[in-house]
Structure 1
Amino acid sequence: MDIEFSLALPREAVGIPMVRRVLGDSLRSLHVTENCVSDILLAVSEACGNAVRYGGPANRYQVEAAIGCGRCDVRVIDRGRGLVRVPEHYPSHDLENGRGILIMQAMVDEIFFDIAPGRGTTVHLSKRLDLEEDASEPGRRELASV
């Protein structure tokens, strides 16, 4: 069973908990470990936060997710300026911004950006799913074949 969904959200912080709820509930229904779910949700929240902050002039952004074949793949798409600077190290503790991309890199197996200056940015996040040890055998077989 594959799970796929797409959400078109206003560029307001109110949409981020919605994304977390839909994605988190989907992963938990497939018996993904809570640590794995938390990692994915943190990375996706950071990507969504960047879309809300920097995704103008459009007033919406999009989140597309695909869960299957033991992986979770998420794309966060905005129509901002399309400028992404990946820091080489964490900024000093007194700076408020600049950690999001590094946090995303630490939480997922793969991250890459499709950047089109003047047309927007797509953040691709991908993580291998860890399953709960005590998940029922039929459920585990079902997810493994996804």
Structure 2
Amino acid sequence: MTFNTGRGPVDIEFSLALPRDAIGIPLVRRVLGEALRSLGVTESCVSDVLLATSEACANAVRHGGPAERYRVTVAIGEGRCEVRIIDCGHGLNTIPRQYPPGDAEHGRGILIMQSVVDEISFDITPGRGTTVRLSKELSWDEDAVARFLTLDRQLAAV
């Protein structure tokens, strides 16, 4: 569902440049989560986007060296949320096709991301970094529709 505020569909874009340290992941979750919630996205949908984004950020922190920073860009519009996590690391060698054994300490992140978003892609350039693109169709709280319709009427009256 796309909301029209009188000036076209809701379209929000932002970018965060973060230190390649786990301390930035809660910041990404907070900013992205509040943006989605303020638009009236369901909590279930927000949780899915945040889980996938957290996993991708954790991979950038873990594998994004030697660079000291990574970047997260977000575009919300046309009823979708697209998140890109960009690092300047050495790049992944392979994408796992199945979950690792139960006693493995690593290797589940990509499969978790695949299970909660509609689309995931990887642009991997060995020696230059990885861009993970996550895309999810947004679902809306019922009161979000009423809130945007009221906003439409208020803007039309101005």
Residue 55 (structure 1) aligns with: 64
For 1:1-146, list aligned pairs within 5 A.
1-139=10-148
Q: Which runs of 5+ in 2 are unaligned?
A: 1-9, 152-158
Whole-Å separation in 2 of the counterparts to 1:129 and 1:84 = 31
Q: Over residues 109-133 of structure 1, what are the superposed CA-to-partner deviations in whole Å (9 max), with x where a residue is unaligned?
A: 0000011110000000000000012
Deviation at 1:6, TM superposition (A): 0.3
Contact 1:131 1:140 (C-alpha < 8 Å) held by counterparts: no
Amino acid at match of 2:15: S
Q: Which amino acid aligns with 1:121?
A: T
Q: TM-score if structure 2 supplies the norm length?
A: 0.86
Q: Structure 1: which 5+ runs fail to align?
A: none
Q: Corresponding residue for 2:5?
A: none
- Give structure 1 regions of 4+ aligned residues with deviation exceeding 6 angstroms: none
Give 3-state SS (helix, strand or coil) of 2:49's partner: helix
Separation in 2, partners of 1:49, 1:140: 38
Q: What is the percent sequence identity of the aligned residues?
A: 68
Relative to structure 1, the CA distance from residue 136 to residue 130 in structure 2 (aligned partners, 3 Å threshold; closer, same or farther) is closer
Q: Look at both structures and tell me which one has the larger radius of gyration over its CA atoms.
A: 2
Paired amino acid for 2:87 = D
SS at structure 2 position matched to 1:134: helix
Root mean square deviation of aligned Cα:
1.4
Letter in 2 for 1:21: R
Structure 2: distance between partners of 1:141 and 1:72: 23
**Alignment partners' CA distance in 1, 2:39 and 2:122:** 28
- TM-score of the aligned structures, taking structure 1 as reference length: 0.93
